[in-house]
Amino acid sequence: MAKMGTRSSPGTSPEKDNILMSQNLLMNPSSKICKFTDLENENLTPYFPLETIFRPFDPSARSDAISMMWFCFAALSFILGYSYPFLDLTQRFFTLTGISYSQTMPMLWKALFTIEEILKIEDLKFCLSELSYLYSLVTHGSSRFMFKAKPYQPLPILKTTQNDSTWKNQFFFVRKDLIPNGDCLPKTWILKGRIQDP
Interatomic CA distance for residues 32 and 59, integer angstroms: 10
pLDDT in tens, 75-127: 999 999 999 999 999 999 999 899 999 999 998 999 999 889 888 888 777 77
7 located within any domain: yes
Interatomic CA distance for residues 32 and 64, integer angstroms: 10
Cβ atoms 21, 66 nearer than 8 A:
yes
Interatomic CA distance for residues 123 and 82, integer angstroms: 18
161 located within any domain: yes
Interatomic CA distance for residues 78 and 40, integer angstroms: 11
pLDDT in tens, 36-68: 999 999 999 999 999 999 999 999 999 999 999
Domains contained in the chain, number: 1
27 located within any domain: yes
